[in-house]
Amino acid sequence: MCVPIYLSEISVTAVRGSITLFYYFFYGVGFAVGPLVGGGFATVTKGWRYMAAIGSFMSLVQFIFFFFVPESPRWLISKGR
Residue in 68, 66, 47, 69 with CA at minimum distance from that of residue 58: 66
- What confidence tens digit (pLDDT) does each residue in 12-57 have? 889 989 999 999 999 999 999 989 988 988 888 988 899 899 889 9
As a dihedral over the C-alpha atoms of residue 18, residue 21, residue 23, residue 28, rounded to 10 degrees, the angle is -150
CB atoms inside a 10 Å sphere around CB 50: 13
pTM reported for the whole predicted model: 0.63
